[in-house]
Amino acid sequence: MTTVSEIAPDLFRISTFVPDFNLQFNQFLVRDDEPLLFHTGPRAMFAEVRDAVATLLDPAKVKWIGISHLEADECGALREWQQLAPESMAVCSLVGKLVSIDDCMAVRPALGMKDGDVLNTGKYRFQFLHTPHVPHCWEAGLLFEETQRTLLCSDLFHQNGDVEPATHSDVLGRCRQVLVEYQQGPLANYMPYSTLTEPTLHRLAGLQPKTLATMHGSAYIGDGARALRDLATMFKDVLGPK
């Protein structure tokens, strides 16, 4: 079942819980002059996500389709969305555009953004942050909405379970549990730990986000800067060199 929740003004969390994985897959729709969908979800979820978007606006009017990195839940349904929305463009890092998205995913050439570039959708401004290997992949990038101070943070703060849409409570314990469990099985090293991890998370903390919109689990509303600094400490403890 797919649910829709407004977690910040004009920002809607579209969430599908998959019991077999004990995992929510979240997309985020920004309702504005030029609507933005961040994450497409896997191709198999396209119809459900499309129908959820249709409760908020005409899906064919989606203009921007944001992608953090090359992965099925990020952009698996990109082709279907671009066929449905004839003026839509993928938005990703310049690296992602050059090495993956234009060649094997997008119907039309993507907007490749460099670190610090800004995307205006109307009322809202999104700063693009190039974050290689955070959460993962060379081409990784995130979007920060400057008006409401929302960080669209992809897999950061991943939590398992069919949890609430948003919370003011600390989600770090849930995230730590996922990483510890994953390190014991075939999904080990889901999050890489490199020389870029800590400085990137501290840079994100410097933006002082008020909402952390995560792909898997509850969005966190509160002191996002502290949460990101705490995440850096937890990543080092769980994933760092021993």
Q: Model confidence over 91-128: pLDDT tens digits?
A: 999 999 999 999 999 999 999 999 999 999 999 999 99
Q: Model confidence over 84-93: pLDDT tens digits?
A: 999 999 999 9
What's the average model confidence in pLDDT over 51-78?
98
Question: Does residue 147 register a pLDDT over 90?
Answer: yes
For the chain, give the mean pLDDT: 97
Q: Two tokens at 119?
A: 């995307």
Instruction: Give pLDDT, residue 149.
Output: 98
Q: By percentage, how much of the chain surpasses pLDDT 90?
A: 99
Question: Does residue 36 register a pLDDT over 90?
Answer: yes
Question: Does residue 55 register a pLDDT over 90?
Answer: yes
Q: Model confidence over 219-230: pLDDT tens digits?
A: 999 999 999 999
> Helix H segments across the chain?
46-54, 72-75, 78-84, 94-96, 102-104, 172-182, 197-205, 224-239
Cα separation, 166 vs 221, in Å, equals 7
What's the average model confidence in pLDDT over 189-212?
97
Question: Does residue 242 register a pLDDT over 90?
Answer: no
Instruction: Strand 23-30: give its sheet, edge to edge.
Output: 2-8, 11-18, 23-30, 36-38, 64-66, 89-93, 111-113
Look up the pTM and report it.
Answer: 0.97
Of 215, 211, 13, 10, nearest to 2 (Cα)?
13
CA quadruple 54, 24, 154, 172: dihedral, nearest 10: 140
Q: Which residue has the tokens 């497409």?
A: 40
Instruction: Give pLDDT, residue 82.
Output: 98
Cα separation, 160 vs 175, in Å, equals 8
222 SS3 class:
coil
Instruction: Give pLDDT, residue 64.
Output: 98
Instruction: Give pLDDT, residue 240.
Output: 92
The pLDDT-based confidence of 81 (bands split at 50, 70, 90) is: very high
Q: Model confidence over 128-139: pLDDT tens digits?
A: 999 999 999 999
Instruction: Kindly state the DSSP code that residue 218 receives in the 8-state scheme.
Output: P
Question: Does residue 1 register a pLDDT over 90?
Answer: no
